[in-house]
Amino acid sequence: QKEVEQNSGPLSVPEGAIASLNCTYSDRGSQSFFWYRQYSGKSPELIMSIYSNGDKEDGRFTAQLNKASQYVSLLIRDSQPSDSATYLCAAPPMDSSYKLIFGSGTRLLVRP
Amino acid sequence: NAGVMQNPRHLVRRRGQEARLRCSPMKGHSHVYWYRQLPEEGLKFMVYLQKENIIDESGMPKERFSAEFPKEGPSILRIQQVVRGDSAAYFCASSVIPGPKNTDTQYFGPGTRLTVL
């Protein structure tokens, strides 16, 4: 069974710090990876997508992908209290590229 | 440009009743996906539909659940004879092209929160 694994947290960081969120996946055929942010009671919102090994930066967010280790991470620089949410890692399995397999999410708390 | 719309936002049903959840994709999107999120869990894929076609329903429970996306009107997720375990948030997503790609992604609606008493 193809899985996406995340530490449920909560991950607590002080305001201004770097938050590091990690995700591992079991399907070596997965080619694309997505980070969604979900505030309590709200719908998932796409933060970042990454397709190639290495880093991809967008503002305060950096996604990192290592396909050999089947590992993807999200770094949030200068964390703000408004970043407090659950972060969901997702990937489409190789045999069904149109659906997303989600991890259970990591809850991030940014302390003022 | 309106996003994905879902209604109702909250739905309360008693055990044994039927629940109908509606999803209108973003304008120009012809691919619809339904996901379910149980409390404190991630989203689970249920079904993928195009207009008048069910492409993949591998995530749908074998009984009581059905989905459609007619030529005209919204996509409907129907749950017959609801049980307490059906209580969850049901999210619909849509895309221009099939699946998440580097040129497009799935955009999620606000969800319908179903409570079964």
Q: What is the pLDDT of residues B85-95, one digit of tens each?
A: 999 999 999 98
- Alpha-carbon span A42 to A22, nearest angstrom: 22
The amino acid sitting at A42 is K
Inter-chain CB proximity B56 and A100 less than 8 Å: no
Over residues A26-84, the pLDDT tens digits come to 888 888 899 999 999 899 999 999 988 999 999 999 999 998 889 999 999 999 999 99
- Alpha-carbon span B8 to A56, nearest angstrom: 38
Q: Any chain B CB within 8 A of the CB of A104?
A: yes
Inter-chain CB proximity A100 and B42 less than 8 Å: no
pLDDT at B98 over 70: no
Lowest mean pLDDT among A102-111, B66-75, B94-103: B94-103
Calculate the CA B108 to chain-centre distance.
10
Strands B75-79 and B5-7: unpaired
Q: Which residues does B contribute to its contact with A (CB < 8 Å)?
A: 31, 33, 35, 40-45, 48, 55-56, 58-59, 91, 98-102, 105-111
Q: Residues in chain A, how many? A: 112
Confidence (pLDDT) at B17: 98
pLDDT at B100 over 80: no
Burial of A48 (0-12, 13-18, 19+ CB in 10 A): buried
State which residue of chain A sits closest to B101, comparing Cα positions.
A32
- Alpha-carbon span B88 to B102, nearest angstrom: 30
pLDDT at B82 over 90: yes
* Residues of chain A neighbouring B99 (CB-CB closer than 8 A): 92, 97-99
Q: How confident is the model at residue B103 (pLDDT cuts 50, 70, 90)?
A: very low
Inter-chain CB proximity B91 and A43 less than 8 Å: yes
* Residues of chain B neighbouring A97 (CB-CB closer than 8 A): 98-101
Confidence (pLDDT) at B99: 62
How many beta-carbon pairs below 8 A join chains A and B? Answer: 66
Over residues B1-41, the pLDDT tens digits come to 579 999 999 999 999 999 999 999 998 888 999 999 998 77
Confidence (pLDDT) at A18: 97
Place of tokens 């329903």: B57
Q: Which H helix or E strand runs over A99?
A: none
pLDDT at B104 over 80: no
Confidence (pLDDT) at B115: 97
Q: Average of pLDDT values for A20-27?
A: 92
Q: Are B56 and A96 in contact (CB under 8 A)?
A: yes
Inter-chain CB proximity A96 and B56 less than 8 Å: yes
Select from B59, B101, B111 the Cβ nearest to the Cβ of A43: B111
Bridge partners (DSSP) of residue A12 are A109
Confidence (pLDDT) at A3: 87
Output B110 or B42, whichever has higher pLDDT.
Answer: B110
A87 token code pair: 């972060």
Please choose, from the candidates B38, B11, B16, the residue with its C-alpha nearest in 3D space to the C-alpha of residue B115: B11
